Amino acid sequence: MNLIISTISQGFIWAIMAIGLYITFRILDFPDMTVEGSFPLGAVTTVIMIQHGYSPEISLLVAFLFGCLAGFATSFMYTKLHIPSLLAGILTMTALYSVNLRILGKANMSLTKSNNIFNSYGLDKLPVNFNGIILGIIIIAIITSLLIIFLNTEKGQAVIATGDNETMAASMGINTTVMKFIGIMVSNGIVALTGGLIAQQNGFADVNMGIGSIVIGLSAIIIGEVIYPDVPLSIRIITIVIGSIVYRLILMIVLQLGFNTNDLKLISAIILALCLALPTIRAQFFQAFRNGVKSK
């Protein structure tokens, strides 16, 4: 039972990153590879700041701001230097590896100080692993509320319009360049915030901990879309949370079946591939079924 609760707890925390990823991949239609660098950026920033005596909350805020700066770098290369989106993200991700090493001073660092956000505000008095669930719900509720409020404003609608049809948005007088800056920066800020939370939950930061993070986030998004295909934005964010929890539970079941933990990234990629292919497989199945019924 503790294993299931721990898995659900991780699902809630990782869902925060998936929400950030949703902004670029679905709302802006921008394939952003920056997240694999901004995620560990948030982690190393949080750990080094807590180690130097700063509060966990301040460290998370700074992690968010640093993530926004990473998003700014990608946005600048994409919009001003006209570097292709994928390549711009890869360049920032590559550069952030050195930045993360500079911040941390070494490849990894343990969080020796006991004060972290999971032990604050009475969360340490909850049963084991329930602190992650409660904290995840609170942060998701805050981010979701702010995101929905923003997307219902004029600026938010402009961001959505930019992602839907950039040419049409520009013809309506929308500054699509600014909208991309806003979306990519906020997205990476949320991703870096998640990195800080994961570092505090795990008790360490590693410059390589961002490898595969984009697959985890996309899996949560795709699983949520497969389970609930046509829902409004506010419900879509909830489905991302559900998708994140389902994804972590699938991984838990796979590992419990005796698979090697070294195969975790491979299993993650296979799960994502299956989820991406599922709508096509389902459509082909129903088409074959209808053809079979007509032939009779």
pLDDT per position in the chain (296 positions), as tens?
678 888 889 999 999 999 999 999 999 989 899 999 999 999 999 999 999 889 999 999 999 999 999 999 999 999 999 999 999 999 999 999 999 999 999 989 988 766 788 888 887 788 877 888 889 899 999 998 999 899 889 999 999 999 999 889 999 899 999 999 999 999 999 999 999 999 998 889 999 998 888 988 988 999 888 888 888 887 888 899 999 999 898 888 888 888 777 887 788 888 888 877 877 887 787 777 777 766 65
69: buried, middle or exposed (CB in 10 Å: 19+, 13-18, 0-12)?
middle
Tokens of 102: 């500079």
- Backbone conformation region of residue 129, classed left if phi is above 0, alpha if psi is from -120 to 50, else beta: left
Tokens of 17: 């990153």
Tokens of 112: 């020796």
Residues 30/180, Cβ–Cβ less than 8 Å: yes
Determine phi and psi for 226, rounding to 5 degrees: -70, -40
Top CATH class of 1-260 equals mainly alpha
Residues 39/194, Cβ–Cβ less than 8 Å: yes
- Residues 27 and 23: their CA atoms lie apart, in Å, by 5
DSSP three-state, residue 207: coil
Residue 193 pLDDT: 96
- Residues 221 and 252: their CA atoms lie apart, in Å, by 18
b (16+ CB within 10 A) / e for 102-141: ebbeeeebebeeeebbbeeeebeeeeebebbbbbbeebbe
Residue 227 pLDDT: 84
Residues 16/187, Cβ–Cβ less than 8 Å: no
Residue 133 pLDDT: 87
**What does the domain layout of the chain look like in residue ranges?**
1-260
42: buried, middle or exposed (CB in 10 Å: 19+, 13-18, 0-12)?
buried
Residue 2 pLDDT: 78
Tokens of 283: 């459509």
DSSP three-state, residue 244: helix
- Backbone conformation region of residue 203, classed left if phi is above 0, alpha if psi is from -120 to 50, else beta: left
Max CA pair span of the chain: 75
User: Which one, of 81, 34, 29, 6, lies nearest residue 195 by Cα?
Assistant: 34
Residue 294 pLDDT: 65
- Residues 285 and 216: their CA atoms lie apart, in Å, by 27
Residue 90 pLDDT: 95
